[in-house]
Structures are given as structure tokens and as C-alpha cells.
Amino acid sequence: MEFVVYMLYSEKFDKTYVGFTSSLIERFKSHNFLATSGYTLKFRPWKVVYLEFYNSKTEAMNREKWLKTGNGRTFIKNLKSKNFFY
């Protein structure tokens, strides 16, 4: 099974969200249309701006956690500063 670490961006609110899943399309639908509560509900619409693929759940979880650290946020800011999100 393949796992995906993904980054969403809300241009309207200038917000990012990082997560991981084994079913990107279903997860994206949930963030943009189906969810009735949670962080991503408040900042719709989202677009996928970054993906990384992993062979194990553990690797994907570790990468997601890293992206949520100070160094990970710096990495995200660098992507954004290079207009990667637009």
C-alpha cells in the first residue's frame, strides 16, 4: 500500500494544512466537501500544492510530523516564498 503526505493551501485565507493518507482523492473530497467539523472546514476551498509518496505508514507519519515542526514550517515557508503555491 502507498501512503501520501500532502499539503493543502487555502488561497482565500492564506493557510496551509499538512496530512497523510492512503487515499488522496477521498481525503481531498473530505477536506473540501464532506467534512462537517474540524480545522479544514473553516478555510475552504483547498487546493493540493505538494505531495510526497511513501511505501510505509510509519514513514509518512514521520514526514507529516516533521513538516509540522519548526524546521518543517520553514521548509513550507520556503516553498511558498518561491511561489510554489500559486
Read off the CATH number of the domain in which 43 is found.
Answer: 3.40.1440
Expressed as residue numbers, the domain containing 69 is 3-81
Question: What pLDDT, on a 0 to 100 scale, did the predictor assign at position 84?
Answer: 79
Question: What pLDDT, on a 0 to 100 scale, did the predictor assign at position 51?
Answer: 96
Q: Is residue 30 part of a domain?
A: yes
Q: Is residue 59 part of a domain?
A: yes
Report the distance separating Cα 44 and Cα 19, nearest Å: 16
Q: pTM, whole model, 2 decimals?
A: 0.93
**Helix 70-81 vs helix 57-67: crossing angle, to nearest 10:** 80
Residues of the chain with pLDDT under 50: none
Question: What pLDDT, on a 0 to 100 scale, did the predictor assign at position 86?
Answer: 66
- Number of domains observed in the structure of the chain: 1
Q: Is residue 86 part of a domain?
A: no
Question: What pLDDT, on a 0 to 100 scale, did the predictor assign at position 58?
Answer: 98
Q: Is residue 63 part of a domain?
A: yes
Report the distance separating Cα 20 and Cα 48, nearest Å: 12
